[in-house]
């Protein structure tokens, strides 16, 4: 099978400083993150419900993932997903996958946040422009290690029910932990892009399982994987750079960034994600 990035196109219309590693449990983002204000239970019930496109998923309740954004070219083509986070001072940044970034000028990209439908009106959405971007200095477009990039916004959006930051993972995942992946990617490998935001529940796999599924390719120092043994649920083309969320202590955390896989939702081929917790030292040096 062909190793894939989950980028896609849909019309709708570097330097990093090194620093001493902080305490990994130390807070590196703003208080009040990880909320879904339009849901009465903050979405907690979605972590126990059985979800039967992202592939094999369901349509998200409109506007209830306020941290997810469509990452686009400056001409309005959807390339990837992305996620809003805030630093300790309360300043928004945008996180996506490094492989989504082909141009080396931040001004060549836009993001639209607070949206649900790709081709419908989203009256509370905001369009973001960027003044700077940083790709992880050890990102490899051969192995897809450290597949993460951070964008600095030109102007800060208002925080409201439709635009909110996700929390940044402050503890490691564990095998079997539930997660939700969301995006506007294709509904099947090589299929049509989703017209509205989709989400899918996926269990996170232990590193040992990921290494067995991808021998010589999975790097536990900066990757994680998630999926069902029989396949059927996954991110796909156009979902790259988007969030893998975990729900911890009443908050939604950005725990993974959609990176790569073999096909979409194939049996015994879980999706692979950049591991936000293991990359948080670098994230901290950029946003703080």
Cite the active site residues: 99, 147, 240
| 271 vs 244: CA distance, rounded Å | 10
| 182 vs 113: CA distance, rounded Å | 13
DSSP state for residue 247 in the 8-state scheme: E
H or E element in which residue 208 lies: helix 207-213
Q: Cα-flanking dihedrals φ and ψ of residue 113, to 5°?
A: -115, 160
Is 237 buried (19+), middle (13-18) or exposed (0-12) by CB count in 10 A? Answer: buried
- Helices (H) then strands (E): counts for the chain: 2, 16
Pair 186, 237: CB distance under 8 Å = yes
- Close Cβ partners of 88 (under 8 Å, ≥ 6 residues apart): 27, 28, 29, 30, 288
């Amino acid at each position: 099978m062909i190793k894939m990035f989950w980028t896609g196109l849909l019309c709708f219309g570097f330097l990093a400083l090194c620093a001493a590693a902080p305490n990994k449990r130390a807070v590196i983002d703003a208080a009040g993150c990880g909320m879904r204000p339009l849901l009465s239970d903050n979405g907690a019930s979605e972590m126990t419900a059985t979800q039967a496109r992202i592939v094999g998923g369901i349509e998200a309740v409109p506007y209830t993932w306020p941290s997810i954004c469509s990452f686009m070219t400056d001409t309005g083509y959807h390339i990837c997903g992305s996620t809003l986070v805030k630093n300790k001072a309360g300043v928004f940044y945008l996180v996506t996958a490094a492989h989504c970034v082909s141009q080396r000028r931040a001004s060549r990209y836009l993001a639209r946040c607070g949206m649900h439908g790709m081709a419908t009106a989203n009256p509370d959405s905001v369009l973001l422009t960027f003044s700077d971007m940083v790709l992880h200095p050890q990102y490899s477009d051969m192995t897809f290690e450290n597949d993460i990039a951070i964008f600095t916004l030109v102007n800060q959006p208002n925080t409201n029910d439709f635009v909110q930051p996700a929390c940044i993972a402050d503890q490691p995942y564990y095998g079997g932990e539930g997660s939700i992946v969301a995006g506007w990617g294709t509904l099947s490998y090589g299929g049509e892009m989703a017209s509205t935001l989709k989400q899918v529940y996926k269990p996170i796999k232990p590193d040992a399982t990921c290494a067995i599924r991808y021998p010589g390719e999975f790097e536990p120092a900066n990757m994680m994987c998630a999926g069902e043994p029989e396949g059927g649920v996954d991110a796909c083309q156009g979902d790259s750079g988007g969030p893998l969320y975990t729900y911890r202590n009443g908050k939604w955390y950005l725990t993974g960034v959609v990176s790569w896989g073999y096909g979409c939702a194939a049996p015994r081929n879980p999706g692979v994600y950049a591991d936000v917790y293991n990359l948080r030292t670098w994230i901290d040096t950029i946003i703080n």
